């Protein structure tokens, strides 16, 4: 039985950090692509990042990138916007800082190892700007920041007592990652459909984003085929960040937390968590128009968040049971 404020703090801390980590991993691959990939692939990459994060660039539209100079100039601005823009809640800085702020307020609920693991990279990040990372190896910066968040998650797994604090953290992370993954798939499918036939859609980047390239090669073939990529990333339970695995974590966390004070919302939450998990497990068909199902999952991820709030955080006081 933990305070609502603590549960909310831990839930949001995880969501923000998962978002920062996901964005860093996408940015690292984009920075690598800028070294030797064709214009249109770099352009595609930026569109994918902005589309997944549901953002628009500072000038309103990615537009066309038609030359090396333009590519470099625009990419610099886009990277700064996605990384250090403090006014935008979806930049790496904002997500990391919000995650750390929630951790600071919940220090009594997390371990010393976790706090140090988050605070030290935060202090480093606080002093940095795009110029500090751009000239040499920007991908190193993104990989290190994503690595720091992974290490934080690892420290949590190694040191946290498996009580409600832990499960609210896990729930926040799993919902965030499910939503981000679904959003990424939908963006990828939309952009691929819009691209001309000579472009392969850069599906390999998705595999690398989820550390799944080797697994793909073993399971399928060296040739990357979009439907198989989606199958693997959505349904393979051996892949740590597959969609079905994340949705499984949502279900597990809700089971472990048990019902909240609002009985109706609790029932609805459990039912929906089971439904969305089953959708991916049993109704998935990545090779034949998966978009309707992904749209449904995406919408359900938002509903799951609302139901978590209604069940555990925003319940009416007058009807709440005394424990």
Partner 1 sequence: MDFGNYQLDLTHYDEMFLPDGTPRDGSGPLYEALTGLSEEELAGIQERVTHSFSTEGITFTVYGDEEAEERIIPVDCVPRIVTASEWAFLERGLVQRITTLNRFLSDVYGEGRIVQDGVIPVDVVRGCPQYRVEMRGMEPPLGVWVAICGTDVVRTNDGFFVLEDNLRVPSGVSYMIANRKAVKAGLRRVYRSSRVRDVEHYGRLLRETLREVAPRGHADPSLVLLTPGIYNSAFYEHMFLAGELGAQLVEGRDLVVNDGYVYTRTTSGLRRVDVIYRRVDDDFLDPLVFRPDSLLGVPGLLHAYRLGNVTLANAPGTGVADDKSVYAYVPDMVRYYLGEEPLLKNVETTICRRPEGLEYTLDNLEKLVVKRVGGSGGYGMLVGPHSTAAEREAYAQEMRANPSDFISQPTLALSRAPCLVDGRFEPRHVDLRPFMLTGRETRTVPGAFCRVALREGSLVVNSSQGGGGKDLWVLED
Distance CA 148, CA 141 (A): 11
Stretch that binds partner 1, among 29-37, 45-53, 100-108, 289-297 (CB under 8 A): 100-108
Identified binder of partner 1 from the candidate list 40, 55, 105, 309, rule CB under 8 A: 105
Do 21 and 146 form a contact (C-beta atoms < 8 A)? yes
In 3D space, the residue among 241, 212, 246, 245 whose CA is nearest the CA of residue 229 turns out to be 212
252 touches partner 1 (CB under 8 A): no
CB closer to partner 1 out of 164 and 231:
164
The residue among 90 and 101 lying less far from partner 1, judged by its C-beta, is: 101
Of the candidate spans 73-81, 151-159, 235-243, 256-264, the one that interacts with partner 1 by CB under 8 A turns out to be 256-264
Q: How far apart are CA 130 and CA 84, in angstroms?
A: 7
For residue 321, state whether it binds partner 1 (rule: CB under 8 A).
Answer: yes
Q: Does 107 bind partner 1 (CB under 8 A)?
A: yes
User: Considering the complex, what minimum distance in angstroms separates the CB of residue 108 from partner 1?
Assistant: 5
Dihedral, CA of residue 81, residue 86, residue 90 and residue 92, to nearest 10 = 80
Interacting residues with partner 1 between 11 and 50 (CB under 8 A): none
Instruction: Find the part of the chain contacting partner 1 (CB under 8 A) among 35-43, 173-181, 217-225, 308-316.
Output: 308-316
- How far lies 204's CA from each of 26, 74, 101, in Å? 12, 24, 35
How far is residue 179's CA from residue 190's CA, in Å, rounded to a whole number? Answer: 16
Is the Cβ–Cβ distance between 41 and 33 less than 8 Å? yes
- Interaction pattern, residues 138-177, with partner 1; x per rule: CB under 8 A: --------------------------x---x---------
CA distances from 92 to 2, 12, 45, 162, 312 (A): 30, 15, 17, 29, 28
Centroid of chain to Cα 32:
20
Q: Pick the piece of the chain touching partner 1 (CB under 8 A) from 42-50, 72-80, 209-217, 252-260.
A: 252-260
C-alpha 200: how far from its chain's center? Answer: 24
Scanning 68-76, 155-163, 205-213, 309-317 for contacts with partner 1 by CB under 8 A, the matching segment is 309-317
**Which of 60, 87, 108, 222 is close enough to bind partner 1 by CB under 8 A?**
108
Q: Which residues bind partner 1 (CB under 8 A)?
A: 1-5, 7, 104-105, 107-108, 112, 115-116, 164, 168, 257-258, 260-261, 312-313, 315, 317-318, 320-323
């Amino acid at each position: 039985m933990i305070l609502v404020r603590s549960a909310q703090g831990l839930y949001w801390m995880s969501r923000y950090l998962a978002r920062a980590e996901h964005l860093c991993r996408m940015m690292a691959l984009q920075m690598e692509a800028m070294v030797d990939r064709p214009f249109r692939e770099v352009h595609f990459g930026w569109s994918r990042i902005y589309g997944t994060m549901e953002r628009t660039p500072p000038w309103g539209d990615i537009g066309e990138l038609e030359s090396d100079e333009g590519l470099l100039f625009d990419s610099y601005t886009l990277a700064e916007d996605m990384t250090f823009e403090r006014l935008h809640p979806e930049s790496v800085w904002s997500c990391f800082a919000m995650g750390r702020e929630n951790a600071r307020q919940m220090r009594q609920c997390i371990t010393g190892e976790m706090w140090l693991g988050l605070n030290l990279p935060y202090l480093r990040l606080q002093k940095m700007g795009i110029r500090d990372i751009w000239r040499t190896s920007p991908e190193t910066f993104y990989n290190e920041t994503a690595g720091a968040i992974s290490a934080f998650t690892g420290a949590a797994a190694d040191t946290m007592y498996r009580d409600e604090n832990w499960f609210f953290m896990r729930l926040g992370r799993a919902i965030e990652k499910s939503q981000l993954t679904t959003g990424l798939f939908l963006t990828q499918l939309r952009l691929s459909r819009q691209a001309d036939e000579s472009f392969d859609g850069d599906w390999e980047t998705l595999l690398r984003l989820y550390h799944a390239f080797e697994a793909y090669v073993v399971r399928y073939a060296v040739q990357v085929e979009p439907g198989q990529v989606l199958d693997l990333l959505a349904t393979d339970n051996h892949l740590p960040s597959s969609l079905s695995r994340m949705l499984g974590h949502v279900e597990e966390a809700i089971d472990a937390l048990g019902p909240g004070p609002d009985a109706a919302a609790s029932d609805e939450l459990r039912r929906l968590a089971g439904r969305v998990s089953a959708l991916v497990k049993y109704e998935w068909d990545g090779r034949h128009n998966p978009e309707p199902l992904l749209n449904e999952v995406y919408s359900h991820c938002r509903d799951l968040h609302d139901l978590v709030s209604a069940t555990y955080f925003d319940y009416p006081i007058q009807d709440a049971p005394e424990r």
